A = this chain, B = another copy of it.
């Protein structure tokens, strides 16, 4: 069986936050995606890592969203699937921008986390596992995979009270 060429674009966000003992804060400093991937079995997948930026999504600006959208769209024409790891607060803005940037050649799946991987009760591993499976099952399009759900852009928003994504018409 052929291998599946997966491109994984990281942008920062809660999922990768690490703890700074001196200040007692959580910051985006180092990528923890490698630690997560090392725990998962993905025998047929070759992963190309693209460290695009390392920005808390609350601080993302218009050109950040545009860069994420164009990178994901271009990559989808040379890979079998694309995962974008993104802070949840502005994930839907990048998702909509990616939709507006063209017609993808492969599934583009956004994911993130409400609680950093460094926490004992994180949702990061669940969400990354779901994105890794969704990208193999879906047709070309732009999606978010998180909390046992896959939703297709456009028309997806974050429900801040529930801490998860929903369809805007729900």
Interface residues of A (CB under 8 A from B): 1, 14, 17, 19, 21-22, 24-26, 39-45, 114-121, 123, 125-126, 129-130, 132-134, 136-138, 145, 147-150, 160, 162-164, 166-167, 170
Contacts and interface: CB of A to CB of B under 8 A. Distances in A.
Contacts of A39: 121, 126
11 contacts: A19-B119, A41-B123, A42-B147, A43-B148, A43-B162, A118-B121, A119-B119, A126-B129, A129-B130, A130-B130, A133-B134
B120 A120 contact: yes
B119 A120 contact: yes
A46 B120 CA distance: 25
Contacts of A119: 19, 118-120
Given A21-B163, A40-B148, 14 more contacts: A1-B166, A1-B170, A22-B163, A26-B26, A43-B162, A118-B120, A119-B119, A120-B120, A129-B129, A133-B134, A133-B145, A133-B148, A136-B149, A137-B150
A113 B160 CA distance: 32
Nearest to A150: B137
A88 B28 CA distance: 24
Contacts of A24: 14, 17, 26
